[in-house]
Amino acid sequence: MTLLAWSDSLVLNQPQLDDTHREMVDLINGLDAALASGTDPMPAFTALLEHTEAHFALEEGWMAATGFEPENCHSSQHKMVLNVLHEVRRYALELKDLEPMHIIGKELAGWLPAHAEMMDAALVFHMGQVGFDPITGQTRQPVTEAAHACGGGGGSCGG
């Protein structure tokens, strides 16, 4: 059983991000499989955590390079997810409590598609609008004004 199956609905037509999302799907399912099999889940969880840190750093770099607002809902979601993952790790290591680890896979399996569809799709669209090449880090035109990353003006997070 998989918590999250890769599907065309997750494709954003940005190869590097699509590959990163596909890997995250595999890691979420890998954690679930480790937990279901009764083997030590820490290697699978650590791989998921490290991937997620690198994944979000990649997107944060793109946001900075393309003029997304420095404080935005997209970044806030990244911080929230990383905070939760670090707490799950702390519970496992310090308290020997794996229950949060059982919960986090299901939560991420629900969160990732919605985040990709809304936040990541908006980032990919914005990257296209400014002509950003994620390989070179260059834009077609200089970025002069911060873009609103959450839809609407003022950077408000609409849910």
Domain boundaries, the chain: 13-154
Residues facing 133 on adjacent strands: 138
For 85, the token pair is 């993952």
Residue with tokens 């979601």: 77
Nearest to 30 by CA among 57, 56, 50, 1: 1
Q: How far apart are CA 131 and CA 115, in angstroms?
A: 23
**pLDDT beyond 80 at 141:** no
**pLDDT beyond 80 at 36:** yes
**pLDDT beyond 50 at 151:** no
More confident residue, 140 or 101: 101
Query: φ, ψ for residue 133 (rounded to 5)?
Result: -105, 110
H helices of 3-131, in order, are: 15-37, 42-66, 73-94, 99-115, 121-129
For 78, the token pair is 């990244």
Q: Could you read off the pLDDT of 56-113 as tens digits, one per residue?
A: 999 999 999 998 876 789 999 999 999 999 999 999 999 999 999 999 999 999 999 9
Give the pLDDT of residue 159. 42
**pLDDT beyond 70 at 1:** no
What CATH topology corresponds to 13-154?
Four Helix Bundle (Hemerythrin (Met), subunit A) (1.20.120)
Asked if 59 and 123 touch (Cβ cutoff 8 Å), the reply is yes
For 5, the token pair is 């199956």
